[in-house]
Amino acid sequence: MRPRLVLLLALLALCGCSRAPAATPRRVILVTCDTLRADRLGAYGYARPTSPNLDAFAKDGVVFDEAYTTIPITGPALSALFTGLLPDELGLAGGNAFLLGAQATTLAEVLRAAGVRTGAVVSNWVLRAPAPEQGDVGLKQGFEHYDDRMQTREGVRDSFERLAADTTDAALRWLDARKAKAEDPLFLWVHYQDPHGPYRPAPEMLTGLERPLTDEPELALGTTRFGKGQLPRYQDVDGERAPERYRIRYDGEVRTFDAHFGRLVAWLKSNGWYDDALVVFTADHGESLGEHDYWFCHGENVHREEVRVPLVVKYPRGATRPKAERVRELATHLDLWPTVLEAFALPPRPNRGTSLLVATLPAERVATQVVREPRAPDRWFAATDGRWRLVQQGAEAPRLFDVAADPFEARDLASAEPARVDELARRAQRFVADHANAPIAPARLLPTSENQRALQHTGYTGDDEH
């Protein structure tokens, strides 16, 4: 028999001469929310009604209790998530004034090269696409569709954002368009901005969240964007100085995100795309709400309130998943790269993370967080094994916290536990050295041409932390 005929017969036998349904195409939806603290969500124990949709979603998936970002600053944190590399390896520990370099290989680039349709909807000003003359830099790398339309001015800031309703609308438009080619695998990243300051939720989002104010002293309004000992200038809403008022508004912002996250999940369900999709929800970083005398800010230290993030994974039907509904072992953003590759059945790459498509996570892991460049004298560094956290700024002695007993890191145990300090520091050093990569040169956010016009129009200076 001629080989071609053999092949044809074999194919006919395989499909039984009828149109057998094709395997469900792989789909991954990654939702990141800016500035969202895990402990303000019902799924993480918050008693106030901020997150009914997220809580329902969490019941379909697995909640990672002790998950961390690598840096509490938007651009660098998401760049680390999308490359599986540490902010220092990307040259991005200094903040948002630099963009992910063109040499970096992003998750979206790998997926696109493998035939996955890649779409992104971003809503934070620092995530907007670079000016064309900057080349293929920043987080747009690898996305065939990168929707960064932002038309809402951020309070008193000289930058723009997109609110959750518009963000979800844009995401659903792309998903709707993909339905015509439903056989294609797809990866969608949606980044919501709402809990980021200034906190200005619609009044109806505050219903049920109002509560008596605390007797804390009123905050002084700062003249800068920094939050140490003061209300950052950009956070000022209606001249309000009571800290609790800002916390109530923050909760209202979380609820706003939640309402529109619920619409995204509802679309996936009503279109039959939910059960077989991997849906990952996390935040880029947390927020200081007064802890350690930092007020309504982030990117200024590496205490837990700034670097712990929510992480909820809804597994595709039939996938290997943790046996528990809550995982207490350490997880980080660096785990998402191997998780997504595995979800698309793509070969793993050398990486610091661990796929979350496993029955149990390794118990002996360590994660690190930084703020500011390696040689900055006031650089912050932290390391954690999920229970203990080492926190150090500059040349100061490291402090040690037991987050199981002291989640807000108020009691330094370093002098009582010197051996534990040494061990955690050693493990952190090994973690950074293992898989160490030659640094990737970042791209400076250049104020040129189109970018220049946008910057002039908004008065944005390029070094604002978001």
Site residues, Zn ion (CB under 5 A) = 34, 74, 284
**Minimum distance of Zn ion from residue 159's CB (angstroms):** 13
Interatomic CA distance for residues 79 and 95, integer angstroms:
11
Q: How far is Cα 283 from Cα 253, in angstroms, rounded to an integer?
A: 14
Nearest approach in angstroms of CB 120 to Zn ion is 15
Nearer to Zn ion, 192 or 246 (CB): 192
At its nearest, how many Å lie between Zn ion and the CB of residue 36?
Answer: 9
- Nearest alpha-carbon partner for 196 in 71, 34, 391, 307: 34
Q: What are phi and psi of 397, to 5 degrees?
A: -65, 140
Euclidean distance between CA atoms 115 and 144, whole angstroms:
11
**Alpha-carbon dihedral angle through residues 452, 457, 463, 466, given to the nearest 10 degrees:** -120
Q: Which is nearer to Zn ion, 297 or 390 (CB)?
A: 297
Nearer to Zn ion, 74 or 339 (CB): 74
What is the closest distance, in whole angstroms, from the C-beta atom of residue 322 to Zn ion in the complex?
27
> CB of 284: closest distance to Zn ion in angstroms?
4
Q: How far apart (Å, rounded) are the C-alpha atoms in residues 244 and 241?
A: 9
Task: Decide whether 66 or 465 has the Cβ nearer to Zn ion.
Answer: 465
> How many C-beta atoms surround the C-beta of residue 422 within 10 A?
12
Question: What is the smallest separation between the CB atom of 193 and Zn ion, expressed in angstroms?
Answer: 8
From residue 239, how far is each of 194, 197, 233, 244 by CA, in Å? 20, 15, 11, 14
Q: Given the complex with Zn ion, which of 74 and 79 has the nearer CB atom?
A: 74
By beta carbon distance, the residue nearest Zn ion is: 74
Judged by CB, which is closer to Zn ion: 125, or 187? 125
Question: Which run of H or of E encompasses 432?
Answer: helix 418-433
Burial of 341 (0-12, 13-18, 19+ CB in 10 A): buried
CA separation (Å) from 242 to 140, 228, 239, 249, 295?
39, 16, 10, 11, 11
Report, in Å, the least distance between residue 324 CB and Zn ion.
29
**Minimal distance in Å, beta carbon 121 to Zn ion?**
15
* CB 411, min distance to Zn ion, A: 28
Cβ proximity to Zn ion: between 100 and 390 the closer is: 100
- Residue placing its CB nearer to Zn ion in the complex, 147 or 284: 284
Rank residues 34 and 65 by Cβ distance to Zn ion and give the closer one. 34
Instruction: Supply the DSSP symbol for 381.
Output: E
CB 196 within 8 A of CB 283: no
* Cβ closest to Zn ion, residue 74 vs residue 168: 74
Q: 57 φ, ψ to 5°?
A: -60, -40
Angle, in degrees to the nearest 10, between helices 164-178 and 243-270: 10
- The four Cα atoms 33, 302, 298, 39 give a dihedral, to 10 degrees, of 50
| Element containing residue 282 per DSSP (H, E) | strand 278-283
Minimum gap (Å) between residue 297 Cβ and Zn ion: 11
With beta carbons less than 8 A apart as the criterion, state whether 274 and 64 touch: no
